[in-house]
Chain A
Amino acid sequence: MNQWKNFTKGFIKDNPIFVLLLGMCPALGVTTSAINGIGMGLATTFVLVMSNVFISIFKSFIPSSVRIPAFIVIIATFVTIVDLSMNAYIPTLHEQLGLFIPLIVVNCLVLGRAEAFASKQNLISSVIDGLSMGLGFTFALGLLGAVREILGSGSIFDFKFINPEADGILLFVLPPGAFIALGYLIALMNRLKKS
């Protein structure tokens, strides 16, 4: 397989959020600001790449009847590593993301790539697939976070560009805004993909 194509597919063509519609819970739950979205995306990318590596290495040792529990154990190990290291080194972000860090383990995206890609392909392809999907996920979360932060609090990466006393459109920071912003972003991506 063409590795460059394998790498770029995650951004637009097979974007996990906008096209495959996988991993929606963190995409809606943590994207109140661009930084949160990117942090969550990078944490997921780490889990995705590492679990792809290990599943690709061990795929011939895992009997296919118990492969799903085996994949879950591998994924859960890396989720625990991310959870504990984020708690130690970036506690503020860890607190903001909260419940969604341990929930990476049930992110359909991670298990989906393990089952559909890493358990069939060689190591290099699996690493690139993990990076592609993870960075595509990060891109989508960062974009959604940026849109919500710009509209909702009139700032980007915590830099406020409107009158400091003014509020943004509060709706976009609240839960309903997440659904509405994501709906319009998906429509926009569909349009971009067609042209």
Chain B
Amino acid sequence: MDYIVIVISAIFVSNIVLNQFLGICPFLGVSKKVSTSVGMGGAVLFVMTLATLVTYLIQNYLLVPQSGYLAELYAEKGIDLSYLRTIVFILVIASLVQMVEIMLKKISPPLYQALGIFLPLITTNCAVLGVAILVVTKEYNLMEALVFSISNAIGFTLALVLFAGLREHLDLMKVPKGMRGVPIAFVVAGILALAFMGFANLV
């Protein structure tokens, strides 16, 4: 498949937040300021790429191997491990986030300062697990999977930063009492999603 198509469709056409509804919690939770939303976007880019790489390798070499010793062993004994996907993926992502947190603390304190507070939040960010599962269901190869995960992370960051910019302005607006806070944020997100629908049929 053409990489450009994957990139454009992941960022604009079926944006992970505004079209697929994955990662809504951080989308609402850390979108009060543009600076924090950029930090969250960076953390997601880092974890999502790494998680997709690791889960891709586990899926294709451990759970459902195409060739090699394990594939023969599974075929001989009639073992099918594909049902373990959800459990294995979420455990891998959770431990990966922990590991990244510990390593960042040691290796690069400034980066840890910038991303640190967002890392624990990412374990329950369904966008990370969602992309890992989507890669399996779409049967991408390794290179396509990496491109797909990076462009989804960029799409997530784009939506988050745009939304944070809108919310910063929203704080200065006179909003009717009943709509203040979360309700108006949802309506604004809806209008943002409407704007993104203009990209439909782009690819």
Interface residues of A (CB under 8 A from B): 21-22, 24-26, 28-29, 68-69, 72-73, 76-77, 79-80, 83-84, 99, 102-103, 105-108, 111, 171, 174-180, 182-184, 186-187, 190-191
In the complex, residue of chain B having the shortest beta-carbon distance to the beta carbon of A179: B190
- Cβ-neighbour of A108 out of B83, B124, B184, B185 (below 8 A): B124
Answer whether residue B20 sits at the interface, using C-beta atoms and an 8 A cutoff.
yes
Segment touching A, from B1-9, B53-61, B84-92, B148-156: B84-92
Interface residues of B (CB under 8 A from A): 18-25, 28, 83-87, 90-91, 94-95, 123-126, 129-130, 133-134, 137, 178-179, 182-187, 189-191, 193-194, 197
Complex Cα distance, B129 from A77, in Å, reads: 16
Q: Is the CB of B21 within 8 A of A28?
A: yes
Q: Is the CB of A24 within 8 A of B184?
A: no
Classify the secondary structure of B's interface with A: helix
* Known pairs A69-B94, A84-B83, A175-B18; A180 contacts B186 (CB<8 A): yes
Contacts of B183 in A (CB 8 A): 183-184, 186-187, 190
Complex Cα distance, B183 from A191, in Å, reads: 12
6 contacts between A and B (CB under 8 A): A26-B21, A68-B94, A72-B91, A76-B87, A77-B87, A179-B187
CB of B24, distance to nearest CB on chain A (Å): 4
Q: Is the CB of A25 within 8 A of B22?
A: yes
Complex Cα distance, B183 from A107, in Å, reads: 21
Contacts of B193 in A (CB 8 A): 175-176, 179
CB of A100, distance to nearest CB on chain B (Å): 8
Complex Cα distance, B137 from A176, in Å, reads: 25
Complex Cα distance, B87 from A26, in Å, reads: 19
- Cβ-neighbour of A178 out of B84, B129, B179, B190 (below 8 A): B190
* Known pairs A183-B184, A183-B187; A108 contacts B178 (CB<8 A): no
In the complex, residue of chain A having the shortest beta-carbon distance to the beta carbon of B23: A25
Contacts of A21 in B (CB 8 A): 28, 182
Given A72-B91, A183-B182, 11 new contacts (CB under 8 A): A24-B21, A28-B21, A72-B94, A76-B90, A102-B85, A102-B129, A103-B22, A103-B126, A176-B194, A179-B186, A184-B187
CB of B146, distance to nearest CB on chain A (Å): 20
Q: Is the CB of B90 within 8 A of A105?
A: yes
Complex Cα distance, B18 from A122, in Å, reads: 40
* Known pairs A68-B94, A80-B86, A106-B129; A29 contacts B186 (CB<8 A): no
Classify the secondary structure of A's interface with B: helix
Contacts of B28 in A (CB 8 A): 21, 24
Contacts of A171 in B (CB 8 A): 194
- Cβ-neighbour of B178 out of A99, A111, A179, A190 (below 8 A): A190
Contacts of A186 in B (CB 8 A): 182-183, 186
Contacts of B95 in A (CB 8 A): 69
In the complex, residue of chain B having the shortest beta-carbon distance to the beta carbon of A83: B86
Q: Is the CB of B126 within 8 A of A183?
A: no
Contacts of B179 in A (CB 8 A): 183, 187
Contacts of B133 in A (CB 8 A): 99, 102-103
Contacts of B84 in A (CB 8 A): 80
Complex Cα distance, B179 from A162, in Å, reads: 31
Q: Is the CB of A183 within 8 A of B23?
A: no
Q: Is the CB of A176 within 8 A of B124?
A: no
In the complex, residue of chain A having the shortest beta-carbon distance to the beta carbon of B20: A29
Contacts of A73 in B (CB 8 A): 87, 91
In the complex, residue of chain B having the shortest beta-carbon distance to the beta carbon of A31: B21
Complex Cα distance, B191 from A111, in Å, reads: 31
Complex Cα distance, B87 from A77, in Å, reads: 7
